[in-house]
Amino acid sequence: MNLGVDVGGTFVKLGIIDDDGKVVNRQKISTLTSEGSDAIIQSIIESIELLLINSGLNISDIKGIGIGFPGTTDQGNGMVVCAPNIFWENVEVVSRIKTHFGLPVHIGQDSRAAAWAEYLFGAGKGFDYIAGITLGTGLGCGMVFKGSIYNGGFNTAGEFGHQIVEVDGNRCNCGGKGCLEVYAGGPALLKSGLQIPDIEVLVGKLINEITVLDIFLLAKQGNPGALACTEKYVKYLGIGLVNLINLNSLELISISGGISNAPDELLFNPLVKFIKERAYPLASEKVKVVKSTLGDDAPLIGASMLYLSNK
């Protein structure tokens, strides 16, 4: 058995995962972001112990522990370099958990763990060059090349959301300007959707309850303002994906995340059409763009299997 942990800004998910990538038991706790990194690490340790007890397992039944973080990790030194969502900077994590349990501990970025899971057990099974993209508030991206997670020289590979798509564009949270995330992140689509006249009446919700999926559903009903918003979103996302495919000669891209649940005719189908029309010809003919088969469990499953990646 393997143990996976997926640390998010709101929740920490933990799971016992068998060698076939199946989650056999799971647990979810709140992320104690305001209490600092020590408290979060301690709560992870306690939750692992509880999960083992609840699963009727001993620590000796577990091969290793893998943890995915929402940020940049330094696998070699066992540190989380920077994870803004949980306010971590240069936090040593591997040694502390390893010392406690006496097991191998591996860490990685959550979106890379998700891509790793898709490669091993999901949509990417059987392909050598894949990317997993998560559509949400931000744009997560992990790449797996020839049986290894690709981390890059500075552990910053796959910063898909921070490719520049507008040279003099709007400010991004990363400090840059005109990043893809500014145009194809959930907040960008929501912001433009909320400017549709009478949006509250059209959706039947208060302004602060309206979600990105509401904008998609309104577009599905043929509302021209909503259609303009979703089309713009798809165009920018398409530019980002075409760049990713052209640079890396990817065989498959797996798409996950909350926004991937939007109606196919408004998101997935036009996105694939854009890619087929605009990517470099040799790649555009062959690249497969598919929905994730593991969904929200991908980061958890992938984290538990981080020990299988060569780096």
Q: Is 184 in the site for Zn ion (CB under 5 A)?
A: no
For residues 187 and 225, which CB has a smaller minimum distance to Zn ion in the complex? Answer: 187
Do 184 and 237 form a contact (C-beta atoms < 8 A)? yes
d(CA 69, CA 77): 15
For residues 132 and 240, which CB has a smaller minimum distance to Zn ion in the complex? Answer: 240
- Strand 252-256 and strand 129-135: pairing? parallel
Using the contact rule CB under 5 A, the part of the chain among 21-29, 167-175, 203-211, 227-235 near Zn ion is: 167-175
DSSP class of residue 33 equals G
Q: What stretches of 176-266 show up as alpha helix (H) in DSSP? A: 180-184, 186-194, 199-203, 212-220, 224-248
Using the contact rule CB under 5 A, the part of the chain among 51-59, 170-178, 194-202, 220-228 near Zn ion is: 170-178
Do 274 and 238 form a contact (C-beta atoms < 8 A)? yes
Q: How far is CA 202 from CA 176, 215, 220, 261, in A?
A: 35, 10, 12, 21
Q: Is 162 in the site for Zn ion (CB under 5 A)?
A: yes
For residues 120 and 179, which CB has a smaller minimum distance to Zn ion in the complex? Answer: 179
CB of residue 220 vs Zn ion: minimum separation in angstroms?
Answer: 30
d(CA 274, CA 296): 26
Binding mask 51-90 for Zn ion (x = CB under 5 A): ----------------------------------------
User: Which of 1, 45, 174, 228 contacts Zn ion by CB under 5 A?
Assistant: 174
- Strand 129-135 and strand 139-145: pairing? antiparallel
Using the contact rule CB under 5 A, the part of the chain among 113-121, 161-169, 183-191, 202-210 near Zn ion is: 161-169
CB of residue 209 vs Zn ion: minimum separation in angstroms?
Answer: 28
Using the contact rule CB under 5 A, the part of the chain among 18-26, 54-62, 164-172, 252-260 near Zn ion is: 164-172
User: Which of 8, 136, 169, 176 contacts Zn ion by CB under 5 A?
Assistant: 176
For residues 175 and 204, which CB has a smaller minimum distance to Zn ion in the complex? Answer: 175
For residues 174 and 227, which CB has a smaller minimum distance to Zn ion in the complex? Answer: 174
Q: Is 165 in the site for Zn ion (CB under 5 A)?
A: no
User: Which of 117, 135, 179, 237 contacts Zn ion by CB under 5 A?
Assistant: 179
Using the contact rule CB under 5 A, the part of the chain among 70-78, 86-94, 104-112, 157-165 near Zn ion is: 157-165
Using the contact rule CB under 5 A, the part of the chain among 48-56, 82-90, 124-132, 173-181 near Zn ion is: 173-181
For residues 3 and 172, which CB has a smaller minimum distance to Zn ion in the complex? Answer: 172
CB of residue 174 vs Zn ion: minimum separation in angstroms?
Answer: 3
Question: Which residues lie closer than 8 Å to 153 by C-beta, 6 or more apart?
Answer: none
Residue 38's CB is within 10 A of a number of other CB atoms, namely 11
**R_g (Cα) of the chain, nearest Å:** 20
Q: Between the CA atoms of 154, 156, 157 and 162, what dihedral angle is there, to the nearest 10 degrees?
A: -140
Structure tokens at 290: 């598919």
Planar angle of CA 235, 257, 12, nearest 5 degrees: 145
Residues that bind Zn ion (CB under 5 A): 162, 172, 174, 176, 179
